[in-house]
């Protein structure tokens, strides 16, 4: 299935953004561990969160989390401490995404987990029991979701957890998010240098309301940057957010977008003040890479984005996906050591009617839809992938004046 996206006929809109997927998925685990009687307010309705809700509410022993990477990592850790025998599986792409580092870490802390198919990859057979815990060393450049998964169950280990992160730590804001949410539920960790210590303890149940998603907001910043004179009101965002992707406001200031914080969210508008070249380390915000790279290319702003080493193990190999799809539009971007993407302004002949492949990756669809503003229209394959994090995306951009046609 494909859709053709046409540019908007107006440039102002109010947008009710989806709830944060990252916060939702963490709070679901903390709510379950605290045996909370409270219903989580404003819980995300995206696919990644829905599969976790179904798993946590199910009386089954086999859980299919489809393509939800966060759910796979968080549920692997969660089930390892829940007494019983469990099977955790997912989509064919999920079966290609490595999980050995997390499994090895859990097993060193007392878990018993087996691979049902390929060594190092889902599906998993998990024999849940009380974990011993203790000291653990882990490379800091692994997915922060591995680290967060371990931290959230750490209070329920007999010895707690003393986690030593070796080398450079990527996606620090997501680890900070996890620790702040754990603190809200009554467990405070100590993080000094590369060591995080969580003492044995218990979470306390609390009422919780999820804030809106800054990652979802990034696509509206992109639209604003490509559409001079535009203004958008984005509801539910917080200035002092636990989300690392809130830094999108700072990044897009260099791309001509001003942010005004209000009582209900933010107002963004085009101001025209653009940098000549964008150089950023996205180690802490890898999910913003597609939005920023597509925006810079379309605005003819050379760039160098580093810290992208985690992009190869996301929903797809995002580095290759970006190179492939931008080439269709006439932009030749290069990668260095699978961790840097840069563009010096080099062009090639664009395809006359390019079809943007989404590679089962929600962020590819949402980052490339605004291309219609500069090209007059763009075709997106498999548009339903946005359900993974932003189910109302197509409806929201239609409400903002974009035209969408099934083809």
Q: Provide the 10 A C-beta neighbour count for residue 354.
A: 18
Enzyme catalytic residues: 287
| Rounded (5°) CA angle 264-270-271 | 115
Question: How far is it, in rounded angstroms, from Cα 360 to Cα 363?
Answer: 9
pLDDT digits (tens, 9 = 90+) for 211-252: 999 999 999 999 999 998 899 999 999 999 999 999 999 999
Q: What is the mean pLDDT of residues 177-195?
A: 97
Question: How far is it, in rounded angstroms, from Cα 378 to Cα 381?
Answer: 10
User: Which residue reads 């404003």 in tokens?
Assistant: 42
Instruction: Name the helix (H) or strand (E) containing 344.
Output: none
Record the pTM: 0.85
Question: How far is it, in rounded angstroms, from Cα 85 to Cα 103?
Answer: 15
pLDDT given for residue 322 in this prediction: 95
Q: What is the mean pLDDT of residues 269-298?
A: 94
Determine what percent of the chain is predicted with pLDDT higher than 70.
Answer: 99
Q: Which tokens is 170 given?
A: 């990527």
Contact 132, 106 (CB under 8 A): no
Q: Which tokens is 398 given?
A: 């239609």
pLDDT digits (tens, 9 = 90+) for 89-130: 999 989 999 999 999 999 999 999 999 999 999 999 999 999
Q: Which tokens is 203 given?
A: 């979470």
Smallest CA-to-CA distance from 176 within 285, 76, 78, 249 is with 285
SS3 content of the chain, % helix, strand, coil (to 5): 40, 25, 40
Q: Which tokens is 249 given?
A: 């406001």
Smallest CA-to-CA distance from 136 within 74, 193, 194, 202 is with 194
pLDDT given for residue 169 in this prediction: 87
pLDDT band for position 37 (cuts 50, 70, 90)? very high
| Average pLDDT in the chain | 95
Q: What is the mean pLDDT of residues 275-286?
A: 94
């Amino acid at each position: 299935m494909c859709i053709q996206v046409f540019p908007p006929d107006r440039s102002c809109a109010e947008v009710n953004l989806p709830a944060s997927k990252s916060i939702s998925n963490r709070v679901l685990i903390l709510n379950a561990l605290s045996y909370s009687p409270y219903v989580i307010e404003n819980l995300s309705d995206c696919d990644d969160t829905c599969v976790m809700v179904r798993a946590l509410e199910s009386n089954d022993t086999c859980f299919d989390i489809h393509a939800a990477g966060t759910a796979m990592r968080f549920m692997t850790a969660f089930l390892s401490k829940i007494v019983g025998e469990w099977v955790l599986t997912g989509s064919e792409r999920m079966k290609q995404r490595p999980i050995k580092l997390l499994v090895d870490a859990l097993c060193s802390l007392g878990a018993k987990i087996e691979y049902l198919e390929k060594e190092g990859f889902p599906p998993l057979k998990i024999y849940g029991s009380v974990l011993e815990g203790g000291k653990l060393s882990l490379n800091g450049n692994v997915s922060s979701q591995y680290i967060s998964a371990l931290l959230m169950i750490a209070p329920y280990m007999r010895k707690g957890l003393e986690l030593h992160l070796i080398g450079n730590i990527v996606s620090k804001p997501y680890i900070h998010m996890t620790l702040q949410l754990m603190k809200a539920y009554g467990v405070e960790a100590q993080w000094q240098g590369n060591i995080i210590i969580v003492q044995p303890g218990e979470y306390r149940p609390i009422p919780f309301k999820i804030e809106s998603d800054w990652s979802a907001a990034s696509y509206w910043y992109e639209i604003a940057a490509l559409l001079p004179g535009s203004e958008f009101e984005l509801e539910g965002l917080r200035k002092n957010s636990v989300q690392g992707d809130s830094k999108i406001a700072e990044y897009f200031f260099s791309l001509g977008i001003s942010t005004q914080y209000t009582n209900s969210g933010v107002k963004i508008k085009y101001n025209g003040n653009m940098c000549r070249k964008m150089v950023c380390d996205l180690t802490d915000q890898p999910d913003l890479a597609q939005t920023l790279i597509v925006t810079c290319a379309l605005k003819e702003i050379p760039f160098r984005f580093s810290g992208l080493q985690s992009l190869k193990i996301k929903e797809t190999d995002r580095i290759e996906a970006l190179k492939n799809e931008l080439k269709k539009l006439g932009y030749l971007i290069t990668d260095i050591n699978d961790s840097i993407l840069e563009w010096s302004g080099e062009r090639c002949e664009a395809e006359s009617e390019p079809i943007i492949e989404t590679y089962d990756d929600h962020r590819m669809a949402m980052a490339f839809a605004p291309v219609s503003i500069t090209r007059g229209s763009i075709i997106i394959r498999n548009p339903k992938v946005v359900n993974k994090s932003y189910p109302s995306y197509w409806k929201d951009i239609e409400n903002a004046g974009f035209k969408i046609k099934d083809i």
